[in-house]
Structure 1
Amino acid sequence: MKLTELKDRIIETSLRLFESHGFHGVTVNQIVSESGTSKGGFYHHFQSKDELLYVIHDYFISYVLTKAKEADSSSKKPTEKLQKIIQSFVKVFHLYKPHISVFYQESMYLKPEYTEEIKKKRDSYKNLIFKCLEEGREAGEFRPEVPVDITGMTILGMVNWTYKWYQPGGEKTIDEIGSIFVDLILNSLLTDSAKQKKEYQKFFLKSGLAEDKL
């Protein structure tokens, strides 16, 4: 078995066990037994169970941070950047739903050094969103009367809550849900002139798409 496959198996096993029994209700021995590996295999990838919990978080924060950096470097127009950031932000709740659920359930048990590392990445992500919002104001695309900090924290709060209600296989796909978030945010944020730009029309929903159940 490849090392990456073993690491993924350990993580998938721990996610299932943590969801069922809680972080402190699961031992390394249980993870080793359930994943079909050895203690040597476990400690080759993780120094401790605490580091394993940190890595579970790092998977999904690294994904959104990478996508936000890609959006920042690949798009010149702030509206396009923000659309890409929001769409990838929403998608993480489909790609890493078990990771996110376990993290929010068990994050209180993280040791300070891991909490600090997580804070660094979360701050980097937040700052990229704030930077995009500031650029949008300077470019005349985003309403100047709407404060950057409150807008940024509102976006983070709105989208983060997705982990509480999103269910794979629901009425809407994760991409459709992402488009709904984009529409809501851009409709409230863009200036009237920016909304009229032809290249941004594709970011707004057509009549009837946002109805029905999620």
Structure 2
Amino acid sequence: MDLKDRIIETSLTLFEQHGFHGVTVNQIVSESGTSKGGFYHHFQSKDELLFVIHDYFISYVLTKAKETIETNDHPTEKMQKIIKSFVKVFDIYKPHISVFYQESIYLKPQYVDAIKEKRQSYKAVLFDVIREGIEKREFRSELPVEITVMSILGMVNWSYKWYKKDGEKTIEEIADIYVDLILHSLLTEQTKKDARFKEYFLENHLTASKK
């Protein structure tokens, strides 16, 4: 692990235990086994460190979403892959997400603006996929695009509150459940019958496992 990541990992543990204002740069430096020079080489301030913690997980989902758009043709397939990568972020970056939502009120305005910009980019990808799905008649045309996107974001984002790595369901199983719920709501009846998308639904997972 390089120094930057070591500082982030240490700060995550400290912020979870003591809160953002309960931790000093000196504590982070001491616990991570570095110097103040080492800290300030990577971060201008504790505020920037909190911003970078958020940037790790929003950059991950945004990169995955853009890759999906570029490498898949069907809106249904795009949505399935976007949901899967979105859900997985709560496993890969669970400490980052918990700390961010707990401490984000302390961010300075310039960092809040940068975060909003990336979140808007992610929303824009979802808007484009929903619109494309409606235009290609894979998604139900009566669904309002904005409410649909905000519903998906709200439902999946709330996972950070209850997801546990040692819980009953793995993150893969949880992702499959979200895919099933969202696609059952989004897809037209005709699209649901399309053999190319059969594997996205839980009933077909169960059927396959019994064979």
TM-score, normalization by structure 2: 0.96
Equivalent of 1:22 in 19, 23, 26: 19
2:144 matches 1:147: yes
**Could you tell me how far 1:206 is from its partner in structure 2?**
2.4
Equivalent of 1:175 in 172, 177, 183: 172
Unaligned runs of 5+ in 1: 210-214
The residue correspondences of 1:81-160 to structure 2 (distance < 5 A) are: 81-160=78-157
Structure 1 counterpart of 2:76:
79
**Could you tell me how far 1:53 is from its partner in structure 2?**
0.2
AA paired with 2:31?
A: E
Rounded Cα–Cα distance in structure 2 between residues aligned with 1:76 and 1:119: 28
Equivalent of 2:162 in 147, 150, 165: 165
AA paired with 1:106?
A: E
Structure 1 counterpart of 2:62:
65
Deviations 1:128-156 (A, max 9, x none): 00100000000000000011100000000
TM-score, normalization by structure 1: 0.94
**Could you tell me how far 1:64 is from its partner in structure 2?**
0.1
**Could you tell me how far 1:208 is from its partner in structure 2?**
8.8
Rounded Cα–Cα distance in structure 2 between residues aligned with 1:188 and 1:148: 13
**Could you tell me how far 1:207 is from its partner in structure 2?**
7.1
Q: CA RMSD in A?
A: 1.1
Rounded Cα–Cα distance in structure 2 between residues aligned with 1:148 and 1:162: 22
Residue 202 of structure 2 aligns to a residue whose secondary structure is coil
Unaligned runs of 5+ in 2: 207-211
Count of aligned residue pairs for this structure pair: 206
Structure 1 counterpart of 2:29:
32
2:179 matches 1:202: no
**Could you tell me how far 1:70 is from its partner in structure 2?**
0.5
Q: Percent identity?
A: 70
